[in-house]
Amino acid sequence: MKLLKLALRNLLGARLRTWLNVIVLSFAFVTIIGLQGVYEGMNRQAMQAEIEAEYGGGQFWHPEYNPYDPLTLQEAHDSPPPEIQEMINKGEATPILILQGTAYPQGRFYPVLLKGIDPGQKILNIPSFVLNDQEEEFPALIGTRMAESLKIKAGDKVTLRWRDVNGTFDAREATIVHVMRTTVQAIDQGQIWLPLEKLQQLAGMEKAATIVVVDKNIKNIPENAGWVLKDQKTLLRDIQELVKTKTVGSSILYIILMLLAMLAIFDTQVLSIWRRRKEIGTLMALGMTRWSVVKLFTLEGALHGILATLVGAIYGLPLLTLFARKGWGMPEAVDSYGFAIGERIYPIYSGGLILGTTLLVLIVTTIVSFLPSRRIAKMKPTEALRGKIQ
Amino acid sequence: MENNQLILTQKLTKIYPMGQHQLYALKEVDLSFGPGEFAGLVGPSGSGKTTFLNIVGSLDVPSQGQVEVLGRRIETLTHKEAAELRKKHIGFIFQTFNLLPVYTVFENVEFPLILLGLPSSERRQRVMEALEWVRLADRANSRPAQLSGGECQRVAIARAIVKKPALILADEPTANLDAENSHNILQIMARLNQELGITFIFATHDEKVIGYLKRKITLVDGRVTKDETYSSQPGMEGHHEAS
């Protein structure tokens, strides 16, 4: 308490030097929390969007289905086993038939996945109801990225080709009834959504599906229902890994920020010890032990961290709250980032993030302050009083 | 060693290694100081005055010999014990004042009391008493940079006396002061010696200081060459009578 009082007095007495360090450190502190919050928000938003539009509460996969091997698609379809069919009948799950196909927009050809979905399904956040269009014989739904790739728009017609159940090529002209805007690339890029029954009928695969998506609100999904169960956690693993990779990238930025701030503290400490060597001698003459002086100087340095937290809170709290409310506008370029990013990212600042960052700043500041202060322990009071450092 | 002495040195020797050679800062110094003394070590630069004060003040240790201060053997003290001795019983006054620049006058004087862990109310009372002694109570909120040299040294005196030490060691306290300020602070110190019974030991070659001493010890090349005491009171410049 005694040392704390003296350290605080010294620190505040140094005025501008202290406040410059504190401002630099608080900037690093707020930026780290801000950036981490954006990544946390991005992570949550991406996962939420993936759950709502693609994964639901989990998926049953046909045993032959491998999303990374398109050649398996020809064999990966069948009527869902009874237990899964019962879930479909109860509205707890929705089947999706996936076929490898080719689109021929304006004479060009484009490999696509044809996905049959029940137009009346409520499990996934996809506007499948537009496929109920009675006026069009073969309505199709695509996303904005797909529309951009194929250079087509709502109302355009595009020829689609696929292999039926016997491996024979078949083709039909589909009408794009709607172009949906979605943050989830996995339901947009390279995919054309069609009415399930129509696709089953055209491919000769009545009642067949490739995957069955379970409602996200269903808690106890049967594990041994006949098809391979991919729970939500497993399905989200890839995106979590991706986010982790991006987070490592962002860490470099805040490591640099922290290094800059720590360099300022370290520099201040070294200069302080050099400039105040007579004062150090005086403190010893007045009755402080060498280690008390080391502790005093370390505490002075560490208090930069505490002051930076307080100063950071003064301008950081309103600033970060504003970002959390208004969101962080994302440029269109980040659409190619690899996972679902909305037009605005809403940062999430968890208690753990704030507490963790605060502790990190305080611990690192203390260590950085202690390192140069150790020299004091080697000082002789008589030499220090004469302004010398061993 | 005798117990009625405040300070007792026996064959005190301090050697500094200087490359291949050794420099004897003090050579077998035998001195003793009783309570209430107003004594000075006098001699040219390099005669060992400051070294003697540093050892007696437990800031340094002897190379050979024995030093007893307030019943404690300096050469056997740990860093912590030496710091404790300084904190409780010894006050220092330096040539360059050595005030803490970011502290106010009040805070500078209060500093030793914070180290002693005294409560805030007692600290305030004792600081103001000490500042009254040096006639600086009205400058309590000033910072050292706002004070003259004489005022700074008066703050240093207040800082030295505030913990009511048994011993004050003053190293060239008037070297940076003009004649008027020198006399002012010497009169203050003489009065503190007389009224509070604090022992003062000076290291000086300033004639003004010498004029106030009750006892003058002359050091030449680390040896005591003369040890004179005077019957007249300090401050009676020119009226010294050696005994």
Q: Do A286 and B117 touch (CB under 8 A)?
A: no
* A336 has pLDDT over 70: no
For strands B199-204 and B167-171, give the pairing: parallel
* Average pLDDT value for residue range B193-203: 94
B100 touches chain A (CB under 8 A): yes
Contacts of A13 in chain B (CB under 8 A): 101-103
By C-alpha distance, the chain A residue nearest B112 is: A286
> How many angstroms separate the CA atoms of A301 and A268, rounded?
8
Q: Which of helix, strand or coil describes residue A311?
A: helix
pLDDT for the residue A341: 62
* B1 has pLDDT over 60: no
B229 touches chain A (CB under 8 A): no
* A334 has pLDDT over 80: no
* Average pLDDT value for residue range B40-66: 95
Q: Is residue B145 part of a domain?
A: yes
Range from A66-75, A86-95, B48-57, B65-74 carrying the lowest mean pLDDT = A66-75
pLDDT for the residue A1: 67
pLDDT for the residue A103: 94
Q: Is residue B25 part of a domain?
A: no
Strand order through the sheet with B21-33 = B21-33, B7-18, B64-69, B72-73
Confidence of residue B243 (pLDDT cuts 50, 70, 90): very low
Which residues numbered 286-345 in A keep a CB inside 8 Å of some CB on B?
286-290, 292
* A340 has pLDDT over 90: no
Number of domains in chain B: 1
pLDDT for the residue A246: 72
* B2 has pLDDT over 50: no
Q: Which of helix, strand or coil describes residue A380?
A: coil
Q: Is residue B18 part of a domain?
A: no
pLDDT digits 0-9 by tens, A306-328: 999 999 999 999 999 999 999 87
What DSSP line would sit under A179-211, residue for residue? Answer: EE--S-GGGTTTEEEEEHHHHHHHHT-TT-BSE
Query: Number of CB pairs < 8 Å for A and B?
Result: 68
C-alpha distances (whole Å) from B133 to each of B38, B127, B175, B216 are: 18, 10, 22, 26
Shortest distance between the Cα of B149 and any Cα of chain A, in A, equals 17
Contacts of A289 in chain B (CB under 8 A): 79-80, 83
Q: Which of helix, strand or coil describes residue A325?
A: helix
* Average pLDDT value for residue range A361-376: 89
pLDDT digits 0-9 by tens, A98-152: 999 999 998 888 999 999 999 999 999 999 999 997 788 899 999 998 998 889 9
Q: Do B98 and A5 touch (CB under 8 A)?
A: no
Cα–chain center distance at A191? 24
**Does residue B57 or residue A181 have the better pLDDT?**
B57
DSSP secondary structure code for residue A124 in this structure: S
Q: Is residue B27 part of a domain?
A: no
Q: How far apart are the first and last CA of chain A?
A: 30
Contacts of A279 in chain B (CB under 8 A): 98, 100-101
Token pair recorded at residue A155: 């109302």
In sequence order, what are the residues at sequence separation of 6 or more whose Cβ sits closer than 8 angstroms to the Cβ of residue A69?
none
* Residue in the structure block whose two tokens are 């009511």: B164
Q: Is residue B57 part of a domain?
A: yes
Q: Do A278 and B88 touch (CB under 8 A)?
A: no
Range from A144-158, A281-295, A323-337, B99-113 carrying the lowest mean pLDDT = A323-337
B112 touches chain A (CB under 8 A): yes
Helix (H) or strand (E) segment spanning residue A303? helix A290-326
Q: Is residue B198 part of a domain?
A: yes
Confidence of residue B239 (pLDDT cuts 50, 70, 90): very low
pLDDT for the residue B16: 92
By C-alpha distance, the chain A residue nearest B86 is: A287
Range from A147-151, A189-193, A376-380 carrying the lowest mean pLDDT = A376-380
Cα–chain center distance at B162? 14
* Residue in the structure block whose two tokens are 């040539």: B95
Q: Is residue B134 part of a domain?
A: yes
* A303 has pLDDT over 50: yes
pLDDT for the residue B238: 46
Domain that holds residue B91: 35-62+78-229
By C-alpha distance, the chain A residue nearest B159 is: A286
What DSSP line would sit under chain B, residue for residue? Answer: --SS-SEEEEEEEEEEEETTEEEEEEEEEEEEE-TT-EEEEE-STTSSHHHHHHHHTTSS--SEEEEEETTEEGGG--HHHHHHHHHHHEEEE-TT----TTS-HHHHHHHHHHHHT--HHHHHHHHHHHHHHTT-GGGTT--GGGS-HHHHHHHHHHHHHTT--SEEEEESTTTTS-HHHHHHHHHHHHHHHHHH--EEEEEE--HHHHTT-SEEEEEETTEEEEEEEBSSPTT-TT---B-
pLDDT, averaged across chain A? 88
Looking at the partner chain, which of B60, B96, B115 has a beta carbon nearest the beta carbon of A286?
A: B115
pLDDT for the residue A160: 94
Buried b (16+ CB within 10 A) or exposed e, B206-219: beebebbbbbbbbb
By C-alpha distance, the chain B residue nearest A292 is: B80
Q: Do A285 and B79 touch (CB under 8 A)?
A: no
Going by C-alpha positions, the residue among A192, A190, A36, A51 that lies closest to residue A117 is A192
In sequence order, what are the residues at sequence separation of 6 or more whose Cβ sits closer than 8 angstroms to the Cβ of residue A208?
A77, A78, A79, A97, A200
* Average pLDDT value for residue range A342-346: 79
Q: Is residue B140 part of a domain?
A: yes
pLDDT for the residue A118: 95
Q: Identify the CATH number of the domain in which residue B112 sits.
A: 3.40.50.300
The answer to whether ipTM exceeds 0.95 is no
pLDDT digits 0-9 by tens, B144-188: 999 999 999 999 999 999 999 999 999 999 988 889 989 988 999
Q: Do B100 and A279 touch (CB under 8 A)?
A: yes
pLDDT for the residue A390: 58
* Residue in the structure block whose two tokens are 């499990």: A123
pLDDT for the residue A133: 76
Q: How many residues does chain B have?
A: 243
* B236 has pLDDT over 70: no
pLDDT digits 0-9 by tens, A287-297: 999 999 999 99
In sequence order, what are the residues at sequence separation of 6 or more whose Cβ sits closer than 8 angstroms to the Cβ of residue A204?
A164, A165, A166
Q: Do A287 and B92 touch (CB under 8 A)?
A: no
* B237 has pLDDT over 60: no
By C-alpha distance, the chain A residue nearest B116 is: A287
Q: How far apart are the first and last CA of chain B?
A: 25
pLDDT digits 0-9 by tens, A248-284: 777 787 788 788 878 877 887 888 888 888 999 999 9
pLDDT for the residue B105: 96
**A110, A102 Cβ separation under 8 angstroms:** yes
By C-alpha distance, the chain B residue nearest A12 is: B102
C-alpha distances (whole Å) from B142 to each of A77, A302, A324, B101 are: 89, 28, 47, 11
pLDDT digits 0-9 by tens, B118-150: 999 999 999 999 999 999 999 999 999 999 999
> How many angstroms separate the CA atoms of B41 and B34, rounded?
15
